[in-house]
Amino acid sequence: MSALKKRREGDSGTIRKKLEQGLRLQAQDRHAEAVSRFRKVLAAQPDDKAALTGLARSLIATGRSQEAVEMLDGVAAETENNEQPLYELAQVCLAIQHYRLAEKLYERVLTITPDAPVALVNLANLLDERGEAQRAADLLSRTLELDPNAADAYASLGRILANAAQFDDAMICYRRAIELKPNSPTVYTNFAAMLESIGRHDEALKICEQALLLKPDCDATRWNLARLLLATGHIEAGWDMYGFGFACGQRLPCRPFPGLIWEGEDLTGKTIMVWREQGIGDDVIFSTCYTDLIARAGHVIIETNPRLVSLYRRTWPEATVRAETATSTGLENYGDVDFDFTAPAGMAAALLRRNLDAFPAEPRFLVPDPARVAECRAWLDTLGSGPVIGLSWSSAVKTSLRSRLYTDLNDWKELFAIEGARIVNLQYTDVTEEAAALQRDFGMTLHRMPGLDLFNDIEGAAALSACMEAAVAPSSFPATLAAGLGVPCFHYTAPRAWTKLGTDRLPWFPTMRCYALDQTTDRSALIERIAVDVAAFVRG
């Protein structure tokens, strides 16, 4: 072997070792050291995609996200219009979630080869992620015209159609994708999620099982399975898999706190910190477990949304309640630890509510501010006499898929027709136009408390809700707040929502009466039934 060839092989081996060292340091969270290794690799091989990806990830991990973005933007500017390097660089961008540049790179590919199927599908997925569903669907339809056997295009189109509540067409796409590519666990996982959303839980369970046979360690599939098990009444099995919601990024915030997560250990004489997960609605649901947790532990610290702090402090004065800090994730950035164990609220519930018998018949209800309650009652007195009924009907997050679970204000005319009833707004979105239209077209008044911001002023929302003789609401925060206060709540939601735990009610709230609403429901009949039930209730 010539000396030159040996030297080249030696150089190549050295570069390979530097790359391996960088990846190893990165796996150990030693990102600053990893950066130097990746830079040495790129100095010798500027187009090494593994080193580019590694460097970008370590820069992000060390708080230098902008530098990572600028580096990749620079590489893209120097990359010639050649399909393969553009594809490879786009993959790097996808790996670090630099979607804007990935989109541009796929568009560049399509200027070279307009019918490139991979670029069409990947660009469609990016467009769908940022809300351009129609444009994405058009690209996928074009892909299928070019190649009727493009399994990935069918899978992506199925997801888009499912999100648009076009379930029959989505099902056709998913089944075709599986027929063409039967070994893709992601397709099974997405298909199962759609089946769950339309109430076909038994089918969804089978699809999840197939997905796990293909990829047993898929956290997204295991989270789907957890919800399905809970929804079908397999409570313990579902709770045992609940943590996969954090592992796959669907339950937030994820705060790992290595070695400190509570797994049911004895809390006598110990301090546990429990933190808010998801939105305020879920926060209130899981807060129904805090009284039990306080009884078990030496001390409980509750970290929650700042808007809920004062309400929770009044309700659980024996606990320490404080606002959550976005910087305290448990990944070596939480400063001095003042607790022995910690858990997200849902994981605490998973350990405290193992079966239906574990739900108390008379939970501790939230305690509103007495002074604010007095203000609300004084305002209500100006509206005359008669039963006071709170009404919410929608959500701030309203997609085609979620809209099936909501109604419109003017759907509730029969509620307004209850003799002597004062219908009070609990809807936290801007209802100005809807309320005006209701008054103009039907002469019906939705009473709105002046100056009360039902979204930001949770104390005010709680005080007003506490004054209601009954509340009517869909799956949104006003329903859980009213029920958490002990107000009789007439709640319409999906027939088999996982929080029902296989029952026809929400076991968390004994004052809540549930009604099933899905794509097959006769909404007019449902609303009439709820209005009749509310009228009977307030009349005693």
- Asked whether residue 179 is assigned to any structural domain, the reply reads yes
Which residues are within 8 A (CB) of 211 and not within 5 positions of it... i.e. 6 or more apart?
A: 185, 188, 189, 192, 218, 221
**pLDDT for the residue 57:** 81
Cα dist from 182 to 140, 174, 213, whole Å: 20, 11, 12
Q: How far apart are alpha carbons 349 and 291 in whole angstroms?
A: 11
Same domain, 385 and 466: yes
Helix (H) or strand (E) holding 320: strand 320-323
Same domain, 275 and 308: yes
Same domain, 280 and 384: no
If you ran DSSP here, which 8-state letter would residue 447 be given?
B
Same domain, 390 and 353: no
Q: How far apart are alpha carbons 352 and 324 in whole angstroms?
A: 22
- Asked whether residue 130 is assigned to any structural domain, the reply reads yes
**pLDDT for the residue 441:** 96
Q: Among 358, 382, 413, which residue terminates a domain?
A: 358
Same domain, 513 and 427: yes
**Cβ(95)–Cβ(115) below 8 Å:** no
Same domain, 288 and 391: no
**Cβ(64)–Cβ(94) below 8 Å:** no
Same domain, 322 and 299: yes
pLDDT tens readout for residues 406-416? 999 999 999 99
CATH no. for residue 109?
Answer: 1.25.40.10
Q: How far apart are alpha carbons 455 and 465 in whole angstroms?
A: 13
Same domain, 301 and 415: no
Same domain, 335 and 399: no
Q: Which residues pair with 274 in a beta bridge?
A: 302, 343
Same domain, 409 and 508: yes
Residue from 190, 157, 192 nearest 172 by CA: 157
Q: How far apart are alpha carbons 476 and 441 in whole angstroms?
A: 27
- Asked whether residue 4 is assigned to any structural domain, the reply reads no
Same domain, 201 and 104: yes
* Tens of pLDDT, residue by residue, the chain (540 residues): 444 344 444 456 778 888 888 888 888 888 888 888 888 888 888 878 788 778 878 877 788 878 877 777 777 777 777 788 887 788 878 877 888 888 998 899 899 999 999 899 999 999 998 889 999 999 999 999 999 999 999 999 999 999 988 999 999 999 999 999 999 999 999 999 999 999 999 999 999 999 999 999 999 999 999 999 999 999 999 999 999 999 998 998 988 888 899 999 999 999 999 999 999 999 999 999 999 999 999 999 999 999 999 999 999 999 999 999 877 776 666 667 899 999 999 999 999 999 999 999 999 999 999 999 999 999 999 999 999 999 999 987 767 667 788 999 999 999 999 999 999 999 999 999 999 999 999 999 999 999 999 999 999 999 999 999 999 999 999 999 999 999 999 999 999 999 999 999 999 999 999 999 988 899 999 999 999 999 999 998
Q: Which residue has the tokens 């309640």?
A: 321
430-453 in b/e form (b: 16+ CB < 10 A) is ebeebbeebeeeeebebbebeebe
pTM tops 0.85: no
- Asked whether residue 240 is assigned to any structural domain, the reply reads no
Q: Among 177, 199, 218, which residue terminates a domain?
A: 218
Ramachandran category for residue 503: left, alpha or beta (phi over 0 → left; psi -120 to 50 → alpha): beta
- Asked whether residue 265 is assigned to any structural domain, the reply reads no
- Asked whether residue 375 is assigned to any structural domain, the reply reads yes
- Asked whether residue 251 is assigned to any structural domain, the reply reads no
* Domain interval for residue 181: 44-218
Instruction: Give the number of domains in the chain.
Output: 3
- Asked whether residue 495 is assigned to any structural domain, the reply reads yes
CATH no. for residue 442?
Answer: 3.40.50.2000
| β-pairing verdict for 271-275 and 341-344 | parallel
Q: Among 154, 188, 218, which residue terminates a domain?
A: 218
Same domain, 50 and 173: yes
